[in-house]
Amino acid sequence: MHGRKILMGALVGALPLGAIAATQSVASAATPQHPVTCTGFTGTVHFGTPLTTAGVATSSKVAEGETVTGASGTCGGHALTVPGGITITGAKNTKLAKTDARYNKTNGTKYLTGSWAQFEGSASGLQKALKVINFNIGGQAATFKTKSANIVAGGACGAGVGFKLSGQVKSGAYADKTATVLACLTSDAGGTATGNFGADVGAAQGVTSATIGGGSSAVL
């Protein structure tokens, strides 16, 4: 055993200092320092039901799923991606007022989906519908688990509107009990969208998608 230690020490001692430094440099460059701040988030959110003021009356308790495509960013000089994208499913629709002319107990039309009011109150539902996000940072997996969600209007999102997710990274090189993800929705498309999501909230009709940008970031 002692002989092994002496041999290893001799081998290390035989390495040029430059080679040792290079090895350390490569190792530290493989993964950004933890925790790491990620910026430059981009991506597109596709709403399951186009957003309108009136919304759509339905008999379904559960909203149509939403997807996020093309999500990417930069973390400490390393590329961030979300392999396979993000799918948000299981969010509950709001109850349709019994005074609404569309309410029909007989055929089960008792719920409302795709309304701006539902979007603005969706933070609590998002926590349950978006349970995990599987990030990849410079080849390292980082599974973010959502613990809570809040809507952000202005502030870090500037003129946009978005969501702040708080949680933890459950596995990988970035495992930590405290992590946050901020997704700001800046531009939009579909229907009467003007291209300014923040200004269109509650006003535009038939918005089908929104772009993640602006102050979007994460600390993992």
Contact call for residues 201 and 188 (beta carbons, < 8 A): no
Residues 146 and 156 in one domain: yes
Instruction: With CA atoms as reference, report the closest residue to 170 among 136, 150, 141.
Output: 141
Residues 11 and 56 in one domain: no
pLDDT exceeds 80 at position 63: yes
Residues 20 and 70 in one domain: no
Q: Is 103 helix (H, G, I), strand (E, B) or coil?
A: coil
Residues 47 and 26 in one domain: no
**What distance in Å separates the CA atoms of residue 75 and residue 149, rounded to the nearest whole number?**
22
Contact call for residues 215 and 187 (beta carbons, < 8 A): no
**What distance in Å separates the CA atoms of residue 94 and residue 176, rounded to the nearest whole number?**
34
Rounded to two decimals, the pTM is 0.83
Residues 188 and 100 in one domain: yes
Residues 68 and 17 in one domain: no
Q: Pick the more confident residue, 30 or 60.
A: 60
Residues 125 and 26 in one domain: no
pLDDT exceeds 50 at position 49: yes
Residues 125 and 200 in one domain: yes
Query: Which residues fall within 8 angstroms of residue 44, CB to CB, at 6 or more apart?
Result: 68, 69, 70, 209, 210, 211, 212
Instruction: Express each pLDDT in 77-134 by its tens digit.
Output: 899 999 989 999 999 999 999 999 999 999 999 999 999 999 998 888 888 899 999 9
Residues 35 and 25 in one domain: no
Task: Please count the structural domains in the chain.
Answer: 2
One-letter amino acid for residue 148 of the chain: S
Residues 145 and 156 in one domain: yes
Query: Which residues fall within 8 angstroms of residue 33, CB to CB, at 6 or more apart?
Result: 76
Domain residue limits at 163:
31-219
Q: Write down the pLDDT at residue 106.
A: 97
Token pair for 27: 């190792």
Q: Write down the pLDDT at residue 151.
A: 93
Instruction: With CA atoms as reference, report the closest residue to 134 among 200, 49, 68.
Output: 68
Token pair for 59: 């008999």
Residues 119 and 176 in one domain: yes
Residues 37 and 126 in one domain: yes
Q: Write down the pLDDT at residue 42.
A: 94
